[in-house]
Every structure is written in structure tokens, then in C-alpha cells.
Amino acid sequence: MPSLMPAWVRRFTSFWTLVGFAALIHGGLFFVAILLYSVPSPDLLPLISPFLTPFGTPIILAVLHTALYWALLFGVSGHMVYSFSRELEGHKWSLLRLTPHPSAVLALAKALAIGRAWYGVLKVLFALRAFALLTLPIAFAAQRSRELGALSSLDFLGAAIFLAQPFAETFMVAAVSLLIAIQVRQARWAQLYAYGALILSIGALNGVFSLWLTFNAPMGALATLMLPIGHWLPLIATAFPPHSAALHAAQTLVLALSAVVLPLSIGGAALGVSLWRLRRLV
């Protein structure tokens, strides 16, 4: 199973390796930015300026986080489909049912093996998100209407949701991919359907929160533009909350629903139906 993981993803299952690569990329871009800084182009200067400062490495880390995030979701989905469709298509699941273990135990053991293969990526994403949360006090200090010590319970709840989001969405993607693999049973078609379901489900969840932020948060239309990288929206929304306490509470509720509650609910329902279907397979 780990052989299905791309080599570059396996390399980035270490946090410090990822930081080292980000620093090297920043160093290369810093050299290029110095060469281009004297070029008389007003449009080029805003693009290269961040890489002339220490903020270039966090920017590269954010880009690598996005790449790893989508690699995790597509990788877990592909692993689930490959593992179960291969046995259902080849009629090997009936042989596994001859063992003394129930079908639910067999399915959960296979799912845990896939989770173990990708657990390193989840740990790195968690570490990157914990590092990114250091921007919250800076963001609060930059707002004139809020003081550094004005962190509320809603701010901490938003930070916890930001940390929990990868785990909830990975569980949802894995469970939905399992259900599709059981229903389709043909590996290639099941993989296409699973990838489509992944894009639609994550896009819909990000879209709900993006629309709410567009009409109710200070970021406005910027939230809609960030739809493809909606996994960063919880951090940005927590760092720059509405000035109204009621809107802040509503934002935290919508964030919790779209990033944690709904993914866990969809994943739990898909897993329950999958285990029921596996028990009924002959």
C-alpha cells in the first residue's frame, strides 16, 4: 500500500524536511528576486518583494501545505478505492469472509492500514497548522479595534476547528470512497467517481463557508476567490473576525458546521452504510 504514495509525499512526511525544502526554495527565489529587483517593472515588484523578506519561507510553507492537503485527500481516496475495489472486483472478499472475523472488523482493519500509511502527512499538516496559528496574536495586534489580550473563547474554538479540519475531511473522504468502491466494484470507474465526489463535497463545504464570509465578514468577496484553497479560510476568518459579537458567534457556528460537524456526519453515515452493505455481500 505505501508504494501507491508518491515519492515527494513520502519525503514530506517529516516536518523539518518540509521546512528545509521551503527554506531552500525561498533562498533560490531570494536570489532571483535580487536579480529582478533592478528591472524597471512596477507590476513585478509586488510579486518579488515578499521573497526579499523572511516572510518568504512561511509563504512557501503555505504553498506546500496546500499541495500536501490535496495530495492527502486524493491519496486516501485512491487507496480506499484500490484496496476494496480490487478485492470486490476479483471476488476475493468472499474468501476473507471465511475467516472468523466479522466483515466490519475486516473493513476497519483495512481502513486503519490505509490511515497508518498516510498518518505522517496528517502529522505534518497538523504541525504546519499549529505553526500558522502563531499569526493570530499578530493579526489581533494589528487590528486597532482589538487588543492583543482580547482573545475570546470563540477565537480559541476557531483555532481548534482549524486544527481538526484535516482529520474530519480525511475521514469523510475515506468513508465516501469506501462506499463508492462497494457500490461500483470496478476499480477504475470507482476511482473516477470517488475523485468526483471528493471535489464536489469539499467544494460544497468550502462554498458554504465562503458565501457566509462574503456577505457577513470583513474579507468580503476575497472569501469567494479563496474557494480553491478553502482549507485556509478557517485561519483567516479566525484571525480577522467580525466586529460584532453576534456575527462572530454565527461565524464560529458556520465554521464548525462546514469544517468539522458536516464532514464527520457525512463520513459517519457513509461508513455505516458501507459496513451494512459489506455484511450483506455474499
21: in domain: no
Q: For residue 38, what pLDDT is reported?
A: 67
Q: For residue 23, what pLDDT is reported?
A: 87
Domain enclosing residue 267, as ranges: 64-280
103: in domain: yes
Q: For residue 56, what pLDDT is reported?
A: 80
CA dihedral 6, 116, 20, 60 (to 10 degrees): 70
174: in domain: yes
What percent of the chain is predicted at pLDDT more than 70?
Answer: 88
In whole angstroms, what is the distance from residue 179 CA to residue 272 CA? 9
Q: For residue 259, what pLDDT is reported?
A: 93
The band of 248, judged by pLDDT with boundaries at 50, 70 and 90, is confident
3: in domain: no
164: in domain: yes
Contact yes or no for 86/191 (Cβ under 8 A) = no
144: in domain: yes
Long-range residue pairs from 237-244, CB within 8 A, at least 24 positions apart, any chain: 237/158, 237/209, 237/213, 238/136, 238/155, 238/158, 238/159, 238/162, 239/135, 239/136, 239/139, 239/140, 240/139, 240/143, 241/154, 241/155, 241/158, 241/217, 242/216, 242/217, 242/218, 243/145, 243/218
**Pairwise pLDDT comparison (71 vs 141), residue with the higher score:** 71
CA dihedral 246, 252, 258, 259 (to 10 degrees): 170
Contact yes or no for 29/53 (Cβ under 8 A) = no
Region 19-23: mean pLDDT is 88
CA-based R_g, the chain, Å: 22
Q: Which residue has the cell 476479483?
A: 90
Q: For residue 46, what pLDDT is reported?
A: 64
Q: For residue 117, what pLDDT is reported?
A: 87
Contact yes or no for 84/182 (Cβ under 8 A) = yes
Q: For residue 260, what pLDDT is reported?
A: 95
4: in domain: no
| Number of domains composing the chain | 1
DSSP letters spanning 143-160: -TTS-TT---HHHHHHHH
For residue 150, pLDDT over 80 is answered with no
- Strongest mean pLDDT among 7-11, 72-76, 156-160: 72-76
Q: For residue 149, what pLDDT is reported?
A: 45
pTM of the predicted model as reported, rounded to 2 decimal places? 0.86
Region 148-168: mean pLDDT is 82
For residue 188, pLDDT over 80 is answered with yes
57: in domain: no
By mean pLDDT, which of 14-23, 134-143, 179-188 is the weakest?
134-143
- Which helix H or strand E contains 238, and what residues bound it? helix 233-239
- Residue 151 makes CB contacts below 8 A (sequence gap 6+) with 136, 137, 140
Q: Which of 1, 264, 13 is nearest to 109 (CA)?
A: 1
The band of 147, judged by pLDDT with boundaries at 50, 70 and 90, is very low
In whole angstroms, what is the distance from residue 271 CA to residue 175 CA? 5
